Structures are given as C-alpha cells and as structure tokens.
Amino acid sequence: MSADALDAATLAEAVGLLAPGVTVTFPHTGHSLTATDLDTASARFAHGLLAHGAGPGDIVGVLAPTGPHALIALLGIVRAGATASMFPIPAGAADLAAERLAPSIDKARIRHLVTHPDGVQIATELTARRPRLAILDADLDAPGSGRLPAVAADTLAVVQFTSGSTSRPKGVKLPHSTVMSGLRAIVRSSAITQDDTIVSWVPHFHDMGLFGPLAVLLAGGRAHLVPPLTFLRRPAAVLRLMSQAGGTMLTGPDFSYRRLAATDLPSDLDLSRWRLAYNGAEPVRAKTVTAFTERFAAAGVTASVMYPVYGMAEATLAVAFPEPGATPRTVHVDRSLLADERRAVQVASDHPRAKALVSVGRPVHGLRMRLTDGTEIPPGRLGEIEISGPAVTPGYLHDPSATAEAFDGPWLRTGDLGFRLGDDLFVTGRRKEMIIVRGQNHFPEDVEDIARRQPGVHRERCVAFADAERLTVVAEIAPRTDPAALTTRIKVAVADHLGLSAIEVHTVRPGWLPRTTSGKWQRELTRERITQRT
C-alpha cells in the first residue's frame, strides 16, 4: 500500500505520491499509464489549463469517454486548483444530448469544457446554446514553468451530478478532504492493498466508476478500465480480462451480475485471484447473489467473492461494506409487517409473505450511521438511513434549499429506508417511492418482483408506482406477446400475492423504461412519461 498517497491532504498532492508499481490500463485503446506517466501528463495538462485561463475557483467539465484522456483531465484539473465535473456522452442526436447536459453546465456555471473528439458534435451544440462556453481539447498539453497552484484541503475537487440529474440537476460538492476521506474508507473497509487489480466497466461519470479505481491506484494497485458497452455487448470479454489481468476486484450494479450468471463461461478462465465482486448502485437481489454464487462455483470462485455494498455520491461512494471474506447474509422478513408496522420480523423462506433481503454490511471506516423514524430507532425497526462523517458532502452546489432539506444538523438524510439486524444493514428502498394504496404500504420492488416473473415481460423489465389510490405497473412486453394476456397475468399475480385489486397495467416496447446512469429504474420519470402518453 502506498501510505503516502492515501495520507495526502488533497487528490492533487496524492498524484505525485503514487507508488512505483501503479498502472492503469485501457485495453480498448492499447494505452497503459504508470505512476510517472500520470504525474507528468496531469501536470502538463494543468499547465495547459492555466494557460487557457481556467484555474482556482473554476469548475471545469469533462466530456470524454472511458480512456486515458478522461483520467488525465480529472487529475490535471485538480492539480490546476480547479474543480472537475465528469459528464457522460449521451447516445443519440447531438442536439438532444446537448439539451440534456445544458442544465448541469448551467448549474455548475461551467466556462470551460474539456472535450474528446467523440464529444465534439455535442460540444458544438452546447456552444450554440451557451456562447460563452470555451471548448478545450482533451489533448491539452503544455510544458509550463514554475509551480502549480497550492491546493487547500477545503477546495472543491469534484462536483458529482447525481444519477438521474436532468432538468433539475443536483451537484454534490466534494472537497479534497472529503474525497480523500472517502478513498481511505474504501481502501480500509475492503482491505485493498498493492496486490489488488481492479477491472471496471462502470463509467467515470458515476461515483462507482470514478472513485473505485482511484482508491485502488492510491493504495498502490493496478486498474484495467473498459467502456460500458464492452460489458453490455460482451460480458464474457470482461471475464476474460479478469482472467488475463489477474483481476482481484470487479465493480457493477446488480443487473450486471445477473448477466454474468447467465453468461457462458469459457473453460480456460483463471479467476482464482478474484476476491471481491462489488455489487452496488442499485438494490441487491437475493436471487442474483444465489445465481452468481452457483454459476461461478464451478470456476473456482468462492461464495465470499460476491460483495453486496451500499453507497451514494453524497458519501464519496462508500456507505456500508461487509467484512471482506464473509459470505453474503440473506434474511427473509414478513413484507407486510415491514411495510405497515415498520418491523423486521424474520420468517421462513417459504412463508407466503417472505421478503428476501441481502445485508450490505456495516458502516465503512470513519462513517457514522443512524436510522430514524422521527427519532433514532433500535435494531429490527425500519427507518430512514442517515449518515455523518468526513467523507460526506457538505451540500449541493448553488442549491441552499436542497442542502437544508438534506441535512438534520450534521446528519445527511439519505432518503433510503433500511433496518439493522445485529451489525448488519439491510436497505429496503427509497422512502419517497413507497407505494401507499388504501392505507396499506407496499415496497415497489415487491410488486416488480411479482410482475417481472410473468411470461411475456421482456427481460424482467418493469416498474411499479402509486397513482392516487391505484397501483400502476409498467412492463416492457416481449415480442410476439399478446398485451391483453400479459396485462391480465400481471393483475392476477399481484392481486393473489399482495391482495391489491386496484391495479393499472401499461405495456411498453422493449427499451422504453428509463434508467439512471447506474442502472436504477427511474420510477418518477416513468410516471411522467405514462401521464404524457395517456
């Protein structure tokens, strides 16, 4: 472990303290950067940025795909004393992509946008809408002279726009001290060392794809980063990379591990070094844990490799991790008592009201947690998860009302519901997404779990929400499926399992349901789109 890099006060300082063995490889581009390369290239980028009038006090946007340009730009921006904000390159028409990005550009008051050739058309559309926006080439490079600006620990390092931020974006403020505390928490709580190699396909504009690899690099390890499409199109290619690179860690949301469990495994894979499969960014399903464990046992992957975690951008990624090497813990609780009485009562797995939940461990190093329901509640009771600590954001950029709403004194309201059994945390879903119909509470995941099992639902894709006193289910319909028959099957199944009769079902084409960048279903946006459609 490179103690020097992890002990640095700022990310800008840490870049020059990386251990000699650090490397980050981009197999799809053929590039590999050493610790020296990262130090030299980011310094030259910082000097180039300063020469273009961007520096301390500025927020600089980065519009680049997975690759060396994005990483060097991030590190160069913070070394110039500025703040980095990483943006996606949205698919589709450039004008529509620019329209999606413009609110975030405005919220951050960005004057300089670092752009890769892949994003040039979008950048052109943005400048047509925002003429004062200066576009800088991702190859920005200047030898510079003299020292780079001193960067204080309380300077903003990153502004992270939360998943799903569009028309009303929320920019999470992450000062250098916050980022470094978060990176230390990741390293210490999952026991990362210089012997670790992470393989990541999660995009760098998502907190898991940004801070996961950075934590490994600061700990002296190695990273192999590939574009999201590599995994989405060829999951087996990521497994092949894990085998060839001696990967010890992989990151991804729950749906990615379901895909891996359904993937044909090449017989010559060597996954013997794999120790952690970080499963986060969306609810962890017990069925995914079981399917993954059973599928990969034949490849020599132990049950303890599946690593269900809980995190959020507001905590610089990590909130709760299990003990490394522990087998995932699944419990079954009475879903009705949990929803209506807010009590976690364990039942047998075959109980008619059994709800399976997977533990995400305990608070990470340096983070405090409490569960509240008006007042702090004991284990076994359902409440909102609140967190506090040095890795937690001080608030949202240029949004004092959102900041005030998010905090209760030093405690950040996560908006997530959960309960504790012993030392283990179980997350049940978003507080604002609870479905209340005729005085009864229901978790949307429970409705969705029943609906997605019905024949004719395309790839198990569906979402549920309440609309007044009626439950609404929106399901993607598989080709050659009768919409009326599928609607009936969903209504009957949900009524039988949950006792709900006021159910409205909408069938939509494959790919219609919106997700966030981390793969979570956007229930509120789905509601808006269904309202516009009807």
pTM confidence score:
0.88
Q: Map out the domains of the chain with their CATH numbers.
A: 3-180 (3.40.50.980), 234-390+405-429 (3.40.50.12780), 434-533 (3.30.300.30)
Please calculate the CA angle 102-108-112 and round it to the nearest 5 degrees: 80
Written in H, E and C, the secondary structure of 232-265 is HHCHHHHHHHHHHHCCCEEEECHHHHHHHHCCCC
Report residues of the chain scoring pLDDT below 50: 1, 165
DSSP for 482-500, please give it: -HHHHHHHHHHHHHHHH--
Q: Exposed, middle or buried by CB within 10 Å (0-12, 13-18, 19+), for 409?
A: exposed
Query: What are the distances in angstroms from CA 296 to CA 190, 239, 289, 301, 459?
Result: 21, 11, 11, 5, 22
Residue 2 has what pLDDT?
A: 52
Interacting residues of 468 by C-beta distance below 8 A, sequence separation 6+: none
Q: Which of 222, 158, 187 is nearest to 12 (CA)?
A: 158
Residue 54 has what pLDDT?
A: 95
